[in-house]
Amino acid sequence: MKQLFTFLFAALLSAGVLFPINSGAQSPNRMSYQAVVRSAKNNLVKDRKVGMRISILYGKPKKPVYVETQTPTTNTNGLVTILIGAGKKVSGDFTTINWAKGIYYIKTETDIKGGTNYGITSTSQLLTVPYAFYAKTAGSIAGVQKHIPLNIYGAFVDHGASFKTGMGGSSGLKLPYSGTPDFAFNFNVPDDYSPGDTIFIRIVGASNSNGDIILLPNFLAIARPDVGYIHGEFASSGLTFDKISISSVNVPIETMGYIVSPDESKTLLPGDAIIFGVFRRGGKGQDSNSGYFKIHSIEIKY
């Protein structure tokens, strides 16, 4: 079986691999992408023109929103470098992709003989949407934002997590560094929700220490009136969260989570009841932040 090893350098903004093709202050409309191409015998395909078809896919059904073809040449190490968005367009418009809408994937298909007989296929989730692209579209999103009341009656807390009512910086849901503190919230999908859209979970909180904090999905349960559970009851798929990087102590910072229907045959609908569980693994070597993280606000946006 032919192999294609891919490296999504597009996600590493700090490495400087997003090249601004446009001049002036405009956002870049190209994404740098590299892959090492090997033959069926696991040999490097060196100094050879290869045919590639690149697709940007959206959501759990992995619907193509942009497709292009290119014929780059590998180097002496079998490495091919392309700029996605600069190829021959097959469908869609790379410059109008709404990166803030939800989860995206990159699919590459390769013909090592330089043609269009694509025998190598690789699909990888773009775990971190390139910030320059996100910023370009995030400000123009037409969305609805709703607050989920932070009260002890609407939340479940366990394993060291605690909740304090009141006003000010001392109130909120506190996740310590030690152990695996976790919490869960529930809400109903609002009536004005458009079926199939991604639901964003916006969490605002602060820490008494610097460093990264990782919030991991614990479970996602989705129930529908008169039907019962359509996902879950304690499934771990369909929910992701961005990493939280704390650089200023006790200063509010936000992170975003994403809920998509894990079963493409069961699209989220208004009225669906959603329970999502989240935990922190600071004491298990996941975080570089040795302090607590106190959540002051949880909202949904769609």
* Alpha carbon distances (Å) from 240 to 66, 178, 220: 23, 22, 10
The whole-number pLDDT of residue 282 equals: 73
* Whole-prediction pTM: 0.51
The CATH fold of domain 145-301: Jelly Rolls (2.60.120)
The whole-number pLDDT of residue 25 equals: 33
Fold: same for 3-138 and 145-301: no
The whole-number pLDDT of residue 168 equals: 57
- With b for 16 or more beta-carbon neighbours within 10 A and e for fewer, the 117-141 pattern comes to ebebeeeeebeebbebbbebbeeee
Per CATH, the number for 3-138 is: 2.60.40
Q: From first to last of the 302 residues of the chain, give the pLDDT tens digit.
A: 344 433 333 322 222 222 223 323 333 467 777 778 888 777 888 999 999 999 999 877 788 999 999 999 988 888 888 888 889 999 999 888 877 666 778 899 999 999 999 988 888 766 545 544 544 554 444 456 666 655 444 567 888 888 776 555 667 888 998 888 888 888 888 888 888 777 888 888 889 999 998 888 888 888 888 888 888 766 667 788 888 888 888 888 888 888 876 555 567 888 888 888 888 887 666 788 899 999 888 888 87
- Residue extents of the structural domains in the chain: 3-138, 145-301
Tell me the pairing of strands 31-38 and 79-84. Answer: antiparallel
Q: Closest Cα to residue 240, out of 51, 20, 98, 60?
A: 60
